[in-house]
Each structure stands twice: as C-alpha cells, then as structure tokens.
Amino acid sequence: MQFTGFTDADFDAYQRRKWASNVFNLERLQVKQKLELLGRQLAPRLTSADGSPLTYEVSAEHPALWNQHSVNAQYLFFSRNADARRELDAIISRGRSMASLVEDPSPLRHHIFLAVILDEHQVEVSLKLHADAKVDRENLERSAAEFFQREKLLAAITALPESFRIGIEGGDGWCPATALTDEALLQLVGALGGSESWLAISRGWARDDEAVASEHFADAAREALDQLLPLLHAIAWSRENDQLAMRDTLKAEDRKKKTKGLAKNDRVRITGGMLAGKTGVVQDASDKGEVKVLIGTLTLKVKSDALAKL
C-alpha cells in the first residue's frame, strides 16, 4: 500500500471536542496508518550524521498517561535509533523523577527529531527540540556560544526556503527562517532552556491546500525533510558533533554498566558457579565485565553478572 493523501475526515479527527475521547480512536487510527505508510516512504533517505538510519515512529492515537489523556495531533517522527538513544538516556534521565519517566516514555521530549504533524488545521513538517532534550539542547547552546559555529548554524537556517519559520512554541518571537539574525538566534537558544517548550523550525500546509490531498504530498514532505536534515545534523549531539566533550562521560557510563557499579573494596557475594555463596572483596573491575575478587587468600576473576554487592 502507498500513501494516498489526507482527507477532510483526517483533519476532523483532531477537533478539540475529540481530544480526550476514546470514541474517536478509530478515526485517529486511520490517520496513524496513513502516517505509517508515509513514514515507510520517507525513512530510507533520512540518516544521522554518522550515516545510521533515523528510526521512525507514529505517536499514540488514543488518550493515555503519556499524552496527558489528550490527542490534539498525530506525529510521524524521525529520531536517532534505539541504540543511540539508549546511550544518552542514562544521562538525560538523571534528576528526573520516576513519575516523569512513566508519564513520558517516548523520545519526543528528550531527543531532537524531524516530524510530519497533522492536526485539525494543517499538516506541518518540522524540526523540533524540547527544553528537556538535555544533551541536544546543551550541544546547541555550546555551538551558539562559539562565533564560528553559530555563524555556520545561522547560515544554514537562513538558507531555508521562505516558507519555513523559526521560534519557540507558545512564544511571540516567530520569524521567517530567512530573516533570522545573529542576535535573534542567540535569544532563541538562550530562552529555550527555561521555556518548558519546543524550539521549532517548520513549514505548514493548510488543510484546504490541494497538495495535502494527493499522493504527491509525499514528495513535498520529502523535500522539506531533506531541507531540515542538515540542521538536525548541526544541532544533534553525536560523536561527530560533540560540543560537550561527552566521549569520556559515555565511556564511564559504559564501564559502570559492565561492572554493575562495583568498585575496589566493595564486599560481594558470588551468585553462580561452583563458588556460589562465597563472599569476598573487590580488588579491581575491568571494562570487559570481569571483576577481580579476593576470597580468603585467593584472587579470582569473576563475571560481574555473577556477583551481588553486600
């Protein structure tokens, strides 16, 4: 099956009176299925800075805890793949309560992404970065603080077609991307951290635009995403765009994971193998997940998975 375009009924599925009602889940599911078809067509061209494919997902069509029991729009979004997310999530989730992690398990607020978004009034193609996307936001802040990096970023934004706008959602500082100034860019980046909102670079098509009703809208969406992709690469943290010098942090996180957080002089019990039940003291822990344990006068190498801290 191929994407065939959007109908008036698709937009009507997101009328305000329907946002919190499960009665309209089927209407929204039909839109979700169209966006899944569109995502399948668009995804092959979209990659991260390292060449790995972006993962695409479609947001939930039913009211739930993680959308505050309200579905005012349907998102098709493209973001870093699951392995890349996992690498950063341990850092992003620090300081967040368990309640906030349960309320919002999706990567939307915590990773920069590209999206096709449909609501009652329009279809939008957008690059979005939430204030809670700590690593990507701070990477952008560091880039903006350095003149030559900021100059390159500004040139990329102002080179976008006139149909694109940039601003913080809920704010009044929106302007055409082509008109963005150095001062305005600094203000936007500085304001994002305290905004609890989104920095967005986007263009939209009204629901009565003939383009959205055609299968050829896939071509228009593809073109807009292609235009935003270099900006995703310029803003998103990656090993190739590491403004935060995070390589050492990630190595430390990986080592901690492999050694289960065990450190020298920790008392441990062996939980598997012939020595199960024996206790000892950690002498050293390696990056390969092996731990040297002193048991009496004997030092043995034991897999961290076979140890429990006392």
Q: What is the mean pLDDT of the chain?
A: 89
In a domain, 255, yes or no: no
Q: Are residues 106 and 219 both part of a single domain?
A: yes
pLDDT of residue 153: 97
Q: Are residues 265 and 146 both part of a single domain?
A: no
Q: Are residues 294 and 271 both part of a single domain?
A: yes
Across the range 192-208, mean pLDDT stands at: 95
Domain boundary among 248, 271, 289: 248
pLDDT of residue 95: 53
Across the range 104-114, mean pLDDT stands at: 81
Q: Taking 80 as the threshold, does the pLDDT of residue 101 lie above it? A: no
Band the pLDDT of 15: cuts 50, 70, 90: very high
Q: Are residues 16 and 46 both part of a single domain?
A: yes
Across the range 153-174, mean pLDDT stands at: 94
Across the range 182-209, mean pLDDT stands at: 95
pLDDT of residue 308: 85
Domain boundary among 248, 274, 295: 248
Q: Are residues 182 and 286 both part of a single domain?
A: no
In a domain, 34, yes or no: yes
Half-sphere exposure of 129 (CA within 13 A, CB side): 26
Residues forming a β-bridge with 298:
295
Q: How many domains does the chain have?
A: 2
Give 267-298 pLDDT, tens digit per residue: 888 888 778 888 889 888 776 678 888 888 88
Q: Are residues 199 and 137 both part of a single domain?
A: yes
pLDDT of residue 242: 84
Can you give the CATH number for the domain in which 273 is found? 2.30.30.30
Contacts 24+ apart (CB under 8 A), 265-272: 266/309, 266/310, 267/309, 267/310, 268/293, 268/307, 268/308, 268/309, 268/310, 269/307, 269/308, 269/310, 270/295, 270/302, 270/306, 270/307, 271/306, 271/307, 271/308, 272/305, 272/306
What is the Cα–Cα distance from 119 to 198, expressed in whole angstroms? 17
In a domain, 172, yes or no: yes
H or E stretch at 233: helix 217-235
Q: Taking 70 as the threshold, does the pLDDT of residue 110 lie above it? A: yes
In a domain, 109, yes or no: yes
Q: Encode burial over 95-125: b for 16+ CB neighbours within 10 A, e otherwise.
A: eeeeeeeeebebbbbbbbbbbbbbbbebbbb
pLDDT of residue 102: 47
Domain boundary among 248, 283, 301: 248
Give 45-59 pLDDT, tens digit per residue: 999 998 999 999 999
Q: Are residues 125 and 273 both part of a single domain?
A: no
Structural domain including 176 reads 8-248
Q: Encode burial over 55-79: b for 16+ CB neighbours within 10 A, e otherwise.
A: bbbbbbbebeeebeeebebbbbbbb
In the numeric block, the tokens 């089927």 are attached to 26
Q: Are residues 116 and 264 both part of a single domain?
A: no
In a domain, 2, yes or no: no
Q: Are residues 157 and 288 both part of a single domain?
A: no
In a domain, 156, yes or no: yes
Higher-scoring residue by pLDDT: 118, 280: 118
Q: Are residues 34 and 14 both part of a single domain?
A: yes
pLDDT of residue 105: 54
Q: Are residues 293 and 211 both part of a single domain?
A: no
In a domain, 68, yes or no: yes
Q: Taking 90 as the threshold, does the pLDDT of residue 203 lie above it? A: yes
Residues of the chain above pLDDT 90, percent: 61
Q: Are residues 100 and 133 both part of a single domain?
A: yes
In a domain, 112, yes or no: yes
Can you give the CATH number for the domain in which 108 is found? 3.30.930.20
Contacts 24+ apart (CB under 8 A), 230-234: 230/156, 231/127, 231/153, 231/156, 231/157, 231/201, 232/112, 232/113, 232/114, 232/127, 233/48, 233/49, 234/143, 234/152, 234/153, 234/156
